């Protein structure tokens, strides 16, 4: 059949291959790109390309059918001319086609099993009518389509310019039909309408309906925008949906989420105040749109208050033997915290219910403060939670944020209790001495309520705004020193000091705890591993310098890793026996060498004892007199307090010069240089006062000082010796250096009595009240025996020695 298209004469074949279309209806006079990939459509395309490039495009009734037959296709399609074919990288083919004429399908069959084909009954439109009715219909459709384009933002305005250049009514109707956004069924109806007048009438009806819908959408859009705030703009689409439902008279259905919240409230046991608050919030939530920002805030709040363990608690294990067995199995030593837990159990057994104590474990790093909290929880059968306070400088970390803030949450205290799932866990507040403070508040002050047994039963978080009882919680805080803990906070805690471990304790911990743990972790369980006792002491004394056992664990791990390498390389080892001789080979040269201490009595030289965060140290003090003009030189990175102690020692000597065998004016012609070795290591504190005075007096009166005795104590200008701290570490350092005679302030006698018997074994401790007692014990001659002035003779010679 011959047709005319764009003034060209085209012959249409009577039977053409078919390409079924999904969700697309093509109109005559339109150029349209298609993407095809199904095998039978590829075959149909190939058949068309071998001929005159004519193809029949028909829309499927159901897009989900992959292999359609004749009954699955609409009866009217479009004969199209293939303009361009392009193969895509993913294997599909992009085809550019131009619609020519409508055609009705007849006798649809699969050709050779490769593609669909059909006979055609070409549906030619009536000749272009010129009557007034057609012109009126055309003008009406043009005006309505212009309104439609103006209201519909998805159609470009350029379409109107193109439409104005089309004079043929048939082509104009098809162009408008192609741009009207309608369902497939309505577009197919337009395609099957052959007569131009009928098609224009149908288009007029469709455009009127679409324009009415678009006007309603604009009205809805305006009302939604007016009711929205900036924070709600992200919910714009959901608000549109709500407004559409309101326009149609469809209200919101009751939320299943509200029913679930009521069910949770009825099922679980909550305090009365919590139930009242929860019911109020659930009622508020039920009246809100589920996608509003405020609904999200209320929903999150309800999740928190209904998820808290208000009435949920665990029962304590009350068997003394079981608790003691667990504590001893997890930690060596630490008798004080273990005894305190047993006392807590005894009170529970007698009183039935007791407020949780607040324990503060104070000690150097690595002695097991944090791990003992976990062990206490396991021994009592309670849940364990840990909150690190190091660097915390925001009060809201403890009390939480108020719900008025975006992203508000409860404080970490409430968060940890919810995580524990019970209202009586063991709560470890780690590094309480390292709390910060800035413009956001003082967390230490916020902790006052948390750690006060008389107040924490009504603790109120800013977010929850409900009282939560913290009195059943066993709070344990840890610190390296109580110096930085605010006094008000320290007053609320029961301080238990954990001293550094002695060498024999470290060896026992390494043998019974660390080595079995590391053997399992490093995959050496099938090999027998033994550390000789002298090998452990070699590692402890020359490869670690600490009060705890962290570095010791790392060194033992290094030894075992080297053995693990040998096993991995295929070397057969019946067992791993680590002796002292092998330590140097496995770990290299010793990392720590004991301070070089003189072995004979020496002038201007005395031994003190110092406490450091890593343990105790023996502190040699050297004093050298020189000819000069009353100048005191202090070197060795001495802090302000130690410098003041040196000045106080010199002032005491000058005030008692005659009694000590010195001239009253001895300092006018003398310069004194006081030095404490290892100058790069900062040193401070008052406990070196007696040592500084003894060494200074020895340098001036030329009496030698014993080097087999060490001392510690603060001095006053009147000669009193005041108590000091850190005695456990100081005595441990003296034993490590082979010094077994010590001088300690008399007021520290009570502290010595609390130390372990193993530490005191073999030590001779002298308790002193006044500095003269110290001088009598440390100097080889009594400085008070002869009041004849000794200083001023041959100072230059003493300086040259």
**HEC sequence for 255-318:** CHHHHHHHHHHHHCCCCHHHHHHHHHHHHHHHCCCCCCHHHHHHHHHHHHHHHCCCCCCCCCCC
Give the separation between CA 539 and CA 549, rounded to whole angstroms.
11
Lowest average pLDDT, out of 277-291, 328-342, 577-591, goes to 328-342
The answer on pLDDT for 794 being more than 60 is no
In this prediction, residues 316-329 reach a mean pLDDT of 80
Cα angle 452, 337, 744; round to 5: 105
Mean of per-residue pLDDT scores for the chain: 84
Q: Which residues pair with 495 in a beta bridge?
A: 360
Which has the higher per-residue pLDDT, 131 or 423?
Answer: 423
Give the separation between CA 786 and CA 781, rounded to whole angstroms.
10
In terms of Cβ atoms closer than 10 Å to its own Cβ (0-12, 13-18, 19+), residue 547 is: buried
Q: What single DSSP character describes residue 355?
A: P
Whether the CB-CB separation of 483 and 324 falls below 8 Å is answered with no
In this prediction, residues 349-365 reach a mean pLDDT of 75
Whether the CB-CB separation of 754 and 632 falls below 8 Å is answered with no
Q: What's the pLDDT at 666?
A: 86
Q: Which of 687, 782, 787, 798 is catalytic?
A: 687
The answer on pLDDT for 205 being more than 50 is yes
785: three-class secondary structure by DSSP: coil
546: three-class secondary structure by DSSP: coil
The answer on pLDDT for 336 being more than 90 is no
- Tell me, letter by letter, the H, E, C secondary structure of 364-387: CCCCCHHHHHHHHHHHHCCCEEEE
Q: What's the pLDDT at 237?
A: 67
User: In this structure, how many other beta carbons lie within 10 angstroms of the beta carbon of residue 635?
Assistant: 12
Q: Which of 117, 15, 116 is nearest to 67 (CA)?
A: 116
Give the separation between CA 318 and CA 522, rounded to whole angstroms.
36
721: three-class secondary structure by DSSP: strand
Which has the higher per-residue pLDDT, 590 or 248?
Answer: 590
Give the separation between CA 187 and CA 27, rounded to whole angstroms.
9
The answer on pLDDT for 792 being more than 60 is no
Strands 384-388 and 358-362: unpaired
Give the separation between CA 24 and CA 181, rounded to whole angstroms.
11
Largest CA distance in the chain: 148
Q: What's the pLDDT at 793?
A: 40
Scored b (16 or more CB within 10 A) or e, 149-187 reads beebeebeeebeeebeeeeebbbbbbbbbbbbeeebeeb
Helix (H), strand (E) at residue 319: none
Q: What's the pLDDT at 571?
A: 79
Strands 15-21 and 115-123: antiparallel
SS3 content of the chain, % helix, strand, coil (to 5): 45, 20, 35
The answer on pLDDT for 595 being more than 80 is no
Between the alpha carbon of residue 317 and those of residues 111, 167, 314, 379, the distances in Å are 84, 96, 9, 7
Whether the CB-CB separation of 396 and 462 falls below 8 Å is answered with yes
Q: Which of 57, 60, 27 is nearest to 45 (CA)?
A: 57
127: three-class secondary structure by DSSP: coil
φ and ψ at residue 66, rounded to 5 degrees: -85, -30
Contacts for 653 with CB less than 8 Å, ≥ 6 apart: 660, 662, 693, 696, 697, 700
pLDDT band at 356 (very low <50, low <70, confident <90, very high): low
Between the alpha carbon of residue 193 and those of residues 93, 198, 297, 595, the distances in Å are 31, 7, 56, 108
In this prediction, residues 142-151 reach a mean pLDDT of 87
The answer on pLDDT for 801 being more than 60 is no
Contacts for 622 with CB less than 8 Å, ≥ 6 apart: 604, 605, 674, 675, 676, 677, 695
562 is catalytic: no
Q: What's the pLDDT at 129?
A: 67
Give the separation between CA 724 and CA 625, rounded to whole angstroms.
29
Strands 575-578 and 528-531: parallel
- For 147-204, write each residue's pLDDT tens digit: 888 888 788 888 888 888 888 888 888 888 888 877 888 888 888 888 888 888 988 9
Whether the CB-CB separation of 684 and 638 falls below 8 Å is answered with yes
Give the separation between CA 694 and CA 63, rounded to whole angstroms.
103
Q: Which of 144, 242, 277, 730 is catalytic?
A: 730
Q: How would DSSP label each residue in 191-214?
A: HH--SHHHHHHHHHHHHHHHHHHH
Which has the higher per-residue pLDDT, 340 or 139?
Answer: 139
User: In this structure, how many other beta carbons lie within 10 angstroms of the beta carbon of residue 70?
Assistant: 16
Which has the higher per-residue pLDDT, 43 or 330?
Answer: 43
Q: What single DSSP character describes residue 770?
A: B
- Residue 349's Cα: distance from chain center in Å? 40
Q: What's the pLDDT at 254?
A: 45
687 is catalytic: yes
- For 672-710, write each residue's pLDDT tens digit: 999 998 766 788 889 999 999 999 999 999 999 999 999
Q: What's the pLDDT at 113?
A: 77
């Amino acid at each position: 059949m011959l047709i005319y298209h764009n003034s060209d004469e085209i012959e249409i074949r009577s039977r053409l291959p078919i390409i079924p279309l999904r969700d697309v209806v093509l109109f005559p006079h339109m150029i349209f790109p298609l993407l095809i990939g199904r095998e039978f459509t590829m075959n149909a395309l190939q058949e068309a390309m071998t001929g005159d490039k004519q193809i029949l495009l028909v829309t499927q009734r159901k897009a989900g059918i992959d292999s359609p037959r004749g009954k699955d296709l609409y009866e009217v399609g479009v004969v199209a001319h293939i303009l361009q074919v392009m193969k895509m990288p993913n294997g599909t083919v992009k085809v550019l086609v131009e619609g020519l004429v409508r055609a009705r399908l007849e006798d649809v069959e699969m050709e050779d099993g490769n593609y669909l084909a059909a006979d055609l009954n070409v549906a030619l439109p009536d000749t272009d009518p010129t009557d007034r009715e057609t012109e009126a219909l055309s003008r009406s459709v043009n005006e309505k389509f212009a309104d439609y384009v103006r209201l519909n933002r998805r159609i470009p305005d350029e379409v109107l310019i193109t439409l104005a250049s089309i004079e043929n009514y048939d082509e104009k109707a098809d162009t408008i039909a192609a741009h009207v956004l309608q369902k497939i069924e309505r577009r197919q109806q337009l395609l099957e309408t052959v007569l131009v007048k009928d098609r224009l009438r149908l288009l007029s009806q469709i455009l009127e309906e679409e324009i009415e819908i678009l006007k309603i959408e604009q009205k809805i859009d305006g009302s939604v925008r007016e009711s929205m705030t900036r924070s709600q703009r992200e919910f714009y689409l959901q608000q549109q949906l709500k407004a559409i439902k309101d326009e149609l008279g469809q209200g919101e259905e009751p939320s299943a989420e509200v029913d679930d919240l009521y069910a949770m409230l009825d099922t679980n046991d909550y305090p009365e105040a919590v139930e009242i608050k929860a019911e109020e919030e659930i009622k508020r939530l039920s009246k809100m749109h589920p996608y509003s920002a405020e609904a999200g805030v209320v929903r999150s709040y309800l999740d928190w208050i209904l998820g808290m363990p208000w009435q949920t608690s665990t029962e304590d294990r009350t068997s003394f033997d079981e608790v003691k067995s667990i504590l001893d199995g997890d930690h060596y030593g630490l008798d004080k915290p273990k005894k305190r837990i047993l006392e807590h159990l005894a009170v529970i057994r007698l009183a039935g219910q007791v407020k949780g104590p607040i324990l503060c474990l104070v000690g150097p790093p690595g002695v097991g403060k944090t791990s003992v909290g976990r062990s206490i929880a396991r021994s009592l059968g309670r849940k364990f939670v840990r909150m690190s306070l190091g660097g915390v400088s925001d009060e809201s970390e403890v009390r939480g944020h108020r719900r008025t803030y975006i992203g508000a949450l409860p404080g970490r205290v409430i968060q940890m209790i919810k995580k524990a799932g019970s209202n009586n866990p063991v709560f470890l507040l780690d590094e309480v001495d390292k709390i910060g403070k800035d413009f956001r508040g003082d967390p230490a002050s916020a902790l006052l309520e948390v750690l006060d047994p008389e107040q924490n039963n009504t603790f109120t978080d800013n977010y929850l705004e409900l009282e939560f009882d913290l009195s059943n919680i066993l709070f344990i805080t840890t610190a390296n020193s109580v110096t930085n803990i605010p006094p008000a906070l320290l007053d609320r805690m029961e301080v238990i000091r954990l001293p550094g471990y002695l060498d024999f304790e470290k060896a026992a911990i390494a043998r019974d705890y660390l080595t079995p743990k590391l053997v399992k972790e490093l995959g050496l369980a099938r090999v027998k591993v033994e550390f000789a006792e002298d090998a452990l002491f070699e590692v402890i004394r020359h490869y670690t310098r600490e009060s705890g056992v962290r570095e010791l664990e790392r060194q033992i791990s290094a030894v075992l890793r080297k053995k693990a390498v040998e096993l991995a390389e295929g070397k057969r080892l019946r067992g791993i026996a680590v002796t002292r001789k092998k330590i140097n080979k496995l770990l290299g040269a010793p990392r720590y060498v004991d301070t070089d201490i003189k072995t004979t009595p020496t002038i201007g030289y005395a031994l003190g004892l110092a406490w450091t965060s890593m343990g105790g140290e023996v502190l040699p003090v050297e004093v050298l007199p020189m000819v000069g003009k009353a100048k005191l030189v202090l070197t060795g990175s001495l802090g302000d307090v130690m410098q003041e102690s040196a000045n106080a020692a010199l002032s005491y000597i000058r005030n008692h010069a005659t009694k000590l065998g010195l001239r009253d004016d001895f300092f006018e012609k003398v310069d004194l240089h006081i030095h404490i070795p290892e100058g790069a290591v900062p040193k401070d504190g008052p406990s070196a006062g007696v040592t500084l005075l003894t060494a200074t007096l020895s340098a001036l009166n030329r009496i030698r000082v014993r080097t087999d005795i060490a001392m510690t104590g603060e001095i006053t200008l009147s000669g009193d010796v005041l108590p000091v701290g850190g005695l456990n570490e100081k005595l441990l350092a003296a034993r490590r250096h082979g010094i077994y005679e010590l001088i300690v302030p008399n007021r520290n006698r009570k502290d010595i009595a609390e130390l372990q018997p193993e530490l005191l074994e073999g030590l001779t401790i002298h308790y002193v009240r006044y500095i003269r007692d110290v001088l009598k014990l440390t100097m080889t001659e009594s400085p008070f025996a002869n009041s004849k002035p000794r200083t001023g003779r041959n100072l230059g010679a003493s300086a040259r020695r």
